[in-house]
Amino acid sequence: MNESLVIGEVLENIKCESFKDPETGRIRVRPLEGQGLPTKLLIECSSEERKAHPVGTTFKTESVKVCKKSDGRVYLRAKDQWISKI
């Protein structure tokens, strides 16, 4: 994982895309390349928004917060679970 990510840090205007997670079969969202973030990092956001658009749709977040699950996985949580299609 990217060592420069700090739990609780807020990142602005992250471009991301939806994809089908091969492990779970669920539609997930991850950062696009070229932003200094690992593309394997998941962005937690509204499932309604993810399901409303085809897999591969690009989105933008106003801001995301770096978070950590109890099992140690680091992820990003979109502010108010909101992402916007671009």
Condensed to tens digits (0 to 9), the pLDDT of residues 14-70 reads: 999 999 999 999 999 999 999 999 999 999 999 999 999 999 999 999 999 999 999
Domain that holds residue 21: 10-85
Q: Average pLDDT for residues 69-81, to the nearest whole number?
A: 93
Strands 84-85, 74-78: pairing kind:
unpaired
Q: Determine the pLDDT at residue 67.
A: 97
* Domains identified in the chain, total number: 1
The answer to whether the CB of 75 falls within 8 A of the CB of 11 is no
Would you say residue 79 lies in a domain?
yes
Q: Give every CB contact of residue 3 below 8 A, 6+ residues apart in sequence.
A: none
Instruction: Please report the pLDDT score of residue 4 as a whole number.
Output: 81
> How much is the pLDDT for 3?
60
> Is 2 part of any domain?
no
Residue of 86, 49, 42 lying closest to 64 (CA atoms): 42
